[in-house]
Amino acid sequence: MALTITPVPDSEVALGPSRFNKQFQVQPGLSDYPSGGYPLVGSALGLGNLWGAERENGNIASAAYGVTFVLSTYPTIPAPCPAMFMVVTSSGSQVAGNTNLQSCTWIIEVDAAGE
Three-class SS state of 80: coil
pLDDT score at 90: 96
Tens of each residue's pLDDT in the chain, 115 residues: 579 999 999 998 988 888 889 999 999 999 999 999 999 999 999 898 999 999 999 999 999 999 999 988 776 777 788 999 999 999 999 999 999 999 999 999 999 987 5
Whether this prediction's pTM lies above 0.85 is answered by yes
For residue 61, report the phi and psi dihedrals to the nearest 5 degrees. Answer: -60, -35
pLDDT score at 84: 94
The CATH number that applies at residue 22 is 2.60.40
- The structural domain count of the chain equals 1
pLDDT score at 42: 92
- From CA 50, how far away is CA 54, in angstroms rounded? 12
Q: Which domain holds residue 80?
A: 4-113
pLDDT score at 115: 58
Q: Are 51 and 112 in contact (CB under 8 A)?
A: yes
For residue 2, report the phi and psi dihedrals to the nearest 5 degrees. Answer: -110, 55
